[in-house]
Amino acid sequence: MENKIAIIRKIIEAASQLSKIELCLSQASIDQLAHIMVRKTLAKGEMFCREGQVCEYITYIEKGLIRQYYYKKHKDVTEHFASDGDMFICTESFIRQAPSHLMAEALEPCDLYCIHHDAFEKLAAANPEIQYFYRYMFAGALILSQIKADSFRYETAHERYERLLRQQPEVVKRAPLQYIASYLLMTPESLSRVRAGLL
């Protein structure tokens, strides 16, 4: 339980950092959140959210590496990586509680802490502090989403790789090249050339 409380504090801190808003929740609220958080583990290769399944959780990764991807004309497109200390959701599915086209798989064994949608909604409905915090989680996610979209505009393949190397070096070390290439909007061949310094 101590562990969960520490993680809730981290999650609050992350939302606070992103939105630049001092979010201070009472100990009671933090306890409530920690209380609904459940631990899950995944084996390497295991799916966390399949296609057509509803994304039920907002998830914090204590340890491991998650890849989020979808199929675009039968081609596997990597949309996001998340690893130790990051959070992830299949946004559209989670918000709408509708079947997801975005999938999440474990590229490594994972230790996860998950907050269930319905439990979170229930808490938020009963506790204004949590509703407020919930809003800032989305506000933070929105800022991140826009920064990411903008950063991909007008960058070369090389620059995109360099950025990933700076911002998520663990992904470059731990994820297979083909997925990294897809995430960086280039072919595996091109990424190979970027790495070799030929591009």
Partner DNA sequence: ATTCCTGATTGACCTACATCAAGAAAGATT
Partner DNA sequence: AATCTTTCTTGATGTAGGTCAATCAGGAAT
CB contact at 8 A, 107 and 65: yes
Cα end-to-end span (Å), the chain: 50
Pick one of a copy of itself, DNA, none as the site partner of residue 37 (Cβ within 5 to 8 A by kind): none
Please state, in angstroms and rounded to a whole number, the distance separating the CA atoms of residues 196 and 102.
32
Structure-token pair, residue 74: 């039968």
Residues 6+ apart with CB under 8 A from 176: 107
Please state, in angstroms and rounded to a whole number, the distance separating the CA atoms of residues 132 and 153.
32
39, 50, 72, 173: which one binds a copy of itself (CB under 8 A) = 72
Work out whether 97 is an interface residue with DNA (CB under 7 A).
no
Residue 1 or 198 with smaller CB distance to DNA: 198
Residue 4 or 161 with smaller CB distance to a copy of itself: 161
145, 156, 167, 187: which one binds a copy of itself (CB under 8 A) = 145
Q: Is 90 helix (H, G, I), strand (E, B) or coil?
A: coil
- Restricted to residues 117-156, the positions that interact with DNA (CB under 7 A) are 156
Work out whether 28 is an interface residue with a copy of itself (CB under 8 A).
no
Binding region for DNA (CB under 7 A): 156-158, 176-178, 185-193, 195-196, 199
